[in-house]
Amino acid sequence: MRFVPLLLRLLLFAVLVGFLVSPDTFEWLLRPLVDGGTPAIYNQGSLLSLTLQHLEIVFAATLAAAILAILLAILVTRSFGAEFLPLSRSLVNIGQTFPPVAVLALAVPAVGFGAKPTLIALFLYGLLPIFENTLTALQNLPRSVTEAARGSGMTAMQRLLKVELPLSLPVIIAGIRLSVTINLATATIGSTVAAKTLGEVIIAGLQSNNLAFVLQGGLVVGALAVLIYDALSALEAMLSRRLGLR
């Protein structure tokens, strides 16, 4: 029975790829949602291209957020950087304090329309889960392991790179997974400032009262979120098993 979820995910992936490559094949499913002369499949651009651009923005923002969040967590867990913990928490909480729409509104006058304000919003929004997970992992490492590494003569940098970060990696991946999942949905609002995302499909549907457009845009984002979440969960579980944490 444990193979059933995997088969369902593979089926979802196959359907998603099939829809993005050849959306007209699925027109019969969406046709009942629109009037006779209204297009049932998004026809103002390539769904595949929009999906790839959507993913590109999300992954670029998440990568930048992960680098900063992990570095900050490492800094505040060192003796020389512990005093910066309150400041670091305030910094990573900015994205949660200001809604993404507000960040977009503030960023557009500074960087213009397009992908840049969306990247800024997603970057700020993705910091908190990665920072908190990395911080928690580094602060809760088994004392016996860290003491053994210190006793073996490892330098502080060697302990960080060879012991602390590898042991913390599953929890860090969990934070990245949450950040990516949040940003996949949040990125749709980037289309309000001319970023190329799947939000274009949803907005076009809302403007023309076309439920089929809204549904296909939302379902593609949802399918991506489920598949990426599950892939990162599998990676986290694999790393945990290899490290003997499960």
Q: Is the pTM of this model over 0.85?
A: yes
User: Which has the higher per-residue pLDDT, 169 or 145?
Assistant: 169
pLDDT given at position 4: 64
DSSP state of 189: G
- Residue 75: pLDDT over 70: yes
Write the pLDDT tens digit of every residue in 160-177.
888 888 889 999 999 999
Q: Look over the chain and give the mean of its residue pLDDT values, rounded to a whole number.
A: 88
Max mean pLDDT among 1-10, 144-153, 196-205 falls in 196-205
Domains of the chain: 44-242 (1.10.3720.10)
Express as a percent the part of the chain with pLDDT over 70. Answer: 97
Whether 119 and 198 have beta carbons less than 8 Å apart is answered as no
Q: Assign 225 a pLDDT band (cuts: 50, 70, 90).
A: very high
Q: Looking at residues 29-40, what average pLDDT do you find?
A: 85
Q: Looking at residues 225-246, what average pLDDT do you find?
A: 83
Write the pLDDT tens digit of every residue in 122-134.
999 999 999 999 9
Q: Assign 178 a pLDDT band (cuts: 50, 70, 90).
A: very high
